[in-house]
Amino acid sequence: MPTAPMPEFPTGFRWGVSTSAYQIEGAAGTDGRGPSIWDTFAHPPGRIVDGSSGEVACDHYHRYAEDVALMAGLGVTAYRFSVAWPRVLPTGGGAVNPAGLDFYERLVDELLDHGIDPVATLFHWDLPQPLEDAGGWLNRDTAHRFADYADAVAARLGDRVKLWITLNEPFIHMSLGYGIGVHAPGRMLLLDAFPVAHHQLLGHGLAVAALRAHSTSPVAIANNYSPVRTVGDSPADAAAAAAYEALHNRLFTDPLLGRGYPPELGFDTTVVRDGDLDVIAAPIDVLGVNYYHPTGVRAPEEGAPLPFDLVPLTGYPRTAFDWPVVPDGLRDLLGWLRDRYGADLPPIQVTESGCAYDDVPDATGRVPDPDRIAYLEAHLRAVRAAIDDGVEVTGYFVWSLLDNWEWAEGFTKRFGLVHVDFDTGHRTPKSSYAWLREVIATARRGPVR
């Protein structure tokens, strides 16, 4: 339980939980869903630590009503989920699969019946396999296919989704999926992956226009940010930190907010055509910020393939993922965004914040997770401090509602407010769920007068 009462949050502050399609839905072959790059990537042995895939995951596709009831019990005002592109367009383009859209319509209506705002992310890394076979995000055509897909989703749900998020963490998709190959599609292009950045951003800009044609709801993108901490005090260390800052924190945000691509990394930008930067800089209404931890950076060895070296930050508590727990990093990051982008920065919603711990049911069947309570409390206090610093932050979403399929880590990392038994599918709210329920209830009652 909190050591002191939580600070007050502004009226109308959005309280949410986040998930993504491939990590929770399962039902990989149901109702006409096509294959995605994650189905393909997870199958050969050796890539996913426990040899699992998201084929069944939390079976949310069949249990969505139970999961919405859990959200209602928690008292959240919003739910951020992602739409699986291969359910809507099984081959990536061509004819829409109405049964795929039917699922999201059932989900959205269930949320609205419980007074929960549906927040829909269109791309959380599960590209239809046929588009990967044509080059994936290295192919400019994928940006146009993405806009067609956005059009199809918005035509069905544009009157009911309350916030659109085009892409989830395009930097992580580029770097882990196409840069170092630990995520699907498993390519290792290092900084030659730049076209993946550009084509995702182009797809985002084209999708903004498609969404606005069908929906008056606000539009956002969710970026991952990691405050850079320079390790070492040489000029070479400082230059390495600046390069990593440009790559992780500015590559996607500078062009979105009208500043073009950062020059520091010397990208080959021949794929950028006249007019593209204007499409990319189409105004957005909200910036989604996903924050987990800062990154330590120092100068690389002579002849290293990248212009920086990432080093673990010492002196902090760590999660089960070995990530350092640094709530001040979130306050610093929000202030950095405000300082860097000034009047061009739209209101921010923290679209992911959370942690993995080795949560196990105790003898009475309860799942105590005091470390997660401490983590969330400290990060909410950091958000409140940033608001006091003058940053406009209008929402906070916990990653995640449920323990789920954590990409290359399979089922071995539990991020949920709700424990999931992956053999039976049984859900058990953890102690953090009860704690957050009180925090939200108190905040929603508003200031005591």
Which residues between 280 and 299 bind ligand GBH (CB under 6 A)?
290, 292
What angle, 0 to 180 degrees and rounded to 10, lies between the N-to-C axes of helices 370-388 and 431-445? 30
169 is catalytic: yes
Residue 353: phi, psi to the nearest 5?
A: -160, 130
With CA atoms as reference, report the closest residue to 244 among 323, 304, 318: 304
Distance separating alpha carbons of residues 260 and 253, to the nearest angstrom: 9
Distance separating alpha carbons of residues 147 and 123, to the nearest angstrom: 11
Does the annotation list 406 as a binding residue? yes
Distance separating alpha carbons of residues 264 and 251, to the nearest angstrom: 10
Interface stretch with ligand GBH, choices 46-54, 165-173, 388-396, 419-427 (CB under 6 A): 165-173
- When binding is defined by CB under 6 A, the residue of 169, 276, 359, 403 that contacts ligand GBH is 169
Does 230 participate in binding ligand GBH (rule CB under 6 A)?
no
- When binding is defined by CB under 6 A, the residue of 20, 215, 353, 432 that contacts ligand GBH is 20
Minimum Å gap between C-beta 50 and ligand GBH is: 15
CB contact at 8 A, 280 and 201 = yes
Token pair recorded at residue 313: 């930050």
CB contact at 8 A, 280 and 260 = no
Helices (H), 265-313: 276-280
Please report the beta strands in 38-169, taking only residues with DSSP state E, as ranges in sequence order: 78-82, 117-123, 163-168
- When binding is defined by CB under 6 A, the residue of 49, 155, 172, 271 that contacts ligand GBH is 172
- When binding is defined by CB under 6 A, the residue of 244, 323, 433, 435 that contacts ligand GBH is 323
For ligand GBH, the nearest residue by Cβ is 292
Of residues 9 and 164, the one with the C-beta less far from ligand GBH: 164
Q: Are strands 309-311 and 295-298 parallel, antiparallel or unpaired?
A: antiparallel
110 is catalytic: no
Distance separating alpha carbons of residues 432 and 418, to the nearest angstrom: 8
Does the annotation list 85 as a binding residue? no
Does the annotation list 245 as a binding residue? no
Interface stretch with ligand GBH, choices 28-36, 166-174, 388-396, 418-426 (CB under 6 A): 166-174
Interface stretch with ligand GBH, choices 158-166, 167-175, 386-394, 441-449 (CB under 6 A): 167-175
Does the annotation list 198 as a binding residue? no
Does 224 participate in binding ligand GBH (rule CB under 6 A)?
yes
Minimum Å gap between C-beta 322 and ligand GBH is: 7
Please report the beta strands in 71-227, taking only residues with DSSP state E, as ranges in sequence order: 78-82, 117-123, 163-168, 219-225
Does the annotation list 292 as a binding residue? yes
The distance of Cα 257 from the centroid of its chain, to the nearest Å, equals 19
Does 49 participate in binding ligand GBH (rule CB under 6 A)?
no
The distance of Cα 30 from the centroid of its chain, to the nearest Å, equals 25
Minimum Å gap between C-beta 5 and ligand GBH is: 29
Does 352 participate in binding ligand GBH (rule CB under 6 A)?
yes
Does the annotation list 8 as a binding residue? no
CB contact at 8 A, 161 and 216 = no
Does 332 participate in binding ligand GBH (rule CB under 6 A)?
no
Does 142 participate in binding ligand GBH (rule CB under 6 A)?
no
CB contact at 8 A, 304 and 237 = no
- When binding is defined by CB under 6 A, the residue of 123, 267, 308, 399 that contacts ligand GBH is 399
Does 403 participate in binding ligand GBH (rule CB under 6 A)?
no
What residues are labeled active site?
Answer: 169, 352
**Contacts to ligand GBH by CB under 6 A:** 20, 168-169, 172, 224, 290, 292, 310, 323, 352, 399, 406, 415
